[in-house]
A and B are shown apart, each in its own frame.
Chain A
Amino acid sequence: AQTVTQSQPEMSVQEAETVTLSCTYDTSESDYYLFWYKQPPSRQMILVIRQEAYKQQNATENRFSVNFQKAAKSFSLKISDSQLGDAAMYFCARRPQGGSEKLVFGKGTKLTVNP
């Protein structure tokens, strides 16, 4: 089975500090996309950042950046200058580049931001 694993069920961070959420995945494909989604208590799944597997450069979006290690099949999310609004469930997801648009999700990491 091609799975996505998030080994940290819960994480906490102090406001203004940096936190890293881990994700590993299993795939036999060479080309695929990786995503981090945020799901606050409102339930709306919001796209945080995406990474194309063929790109060596790590993606960044403002305070959010990833560390993509293709050989290790690792895709961690770093949140800098954490804000109270960052508190949410964070899901790592993978989809193949060709054909199916099916997303495979991990079980999520609950992030708490302490003031």
Chain B
Amino acid sequence: DAGVTQSPTHLIKTRGQQVTLRCSPKSGHDTVSWYQQALGQGPQFIFQYYEEEERQRGNFPDRFSGHQFPNYSSELNVNALLLGDSALYLCASSWWGWTAQPEQYFGPGTRLTVT
């Protein structure tokens, strides 16, 4: 049973560029959430996708956008990169029918460095 996978593992971009990060959820999961984890901090919620729609959004600017595909995989796009966007980006999957399984399962993350 494959867990949550993310690609790429590492990424280096220049200020002002755009980046796309990818996530495949755990088998049987239909909901994907994205988190940003700055160095030395806990993860911060960016947004969540279910049924190909953004269901909830954290306190992040519109430069952060996403997409969910019919197979439940997801992309996180960040435009006009800033130095402060350097962080570990975590994808987490879960099942919308959360009463049975309320926990989220995380991928290994993508380390984004903006220079």
- Taking Cβ atoms with an 8 Å cutoff, the residues of A that contact B are 4, 33, 35, 37, 42-47, 50, 52, 91, 93, 95, 97, 100-108
Complex CA gap A45/B104 in Å reads: 10
Complex CA gap A43/B35 in Å reads: 13
* Interface contact B98-A101, CB-CB below 8 Å: yes
How far apart are B80's CB and chain A's nearest CB, in angstroms?
25
Q: Find residues 1-20 in chain B having any chain A CB closer than 8 Å to their own CB.
A: none
* Interface contact A43-B88, CB-CB below 8 Å: yes
Other A-B pairs beyond A45-B106, A107-B40, A107-B42, 20, CB < 8 Å: A4-B42, A43-B88, A43-B108, A44-B107, A44-B108, A44-B109, A45-B109, A46-B106, A50-B103, A100-B48, A100-B56, A101-B31, A101-B56, A101-B104, A102-B48, A103-B33, A103-B43, A103-B45, A104-B45, A108-B42
- Taking Cβ atoms with an 8 Å cutoff, the residues of B that contact A are 31, 33, 35, 40-45, 48, 56, 58, 88, 90, 92, 94, 98, 102-109, 111
The residue on B at minimum CB distance from A45 is: B106
CB-defined contacts of B98 to chain A, threshold 8 Å? 101
Complex CA gap A85/B43 in Å reads: 22
13 CB < 8 A contacts A-B: A42-B108, A44-B109, A45-B43, A45-B92, A91-B42, A95-B102, A100-B48, A101-B33, A102-B45, A102-B56, A103-B35, A103-B92, A105-B44
Complex CA gap A42/B108 in Å reads: 8
CB-defined contacts of A43 to chain B, threshold 8 Å? 88, 108-109, 111
Q: A102-B48, A107-B41, A108-B42 are in contact. Are A47 and B108 (CB under 8 A)?
A: no
Q: A102-B45, A103-B45, A104-B45 are in contact. Are A47 and B56 (CB under 8 A)?
A: no
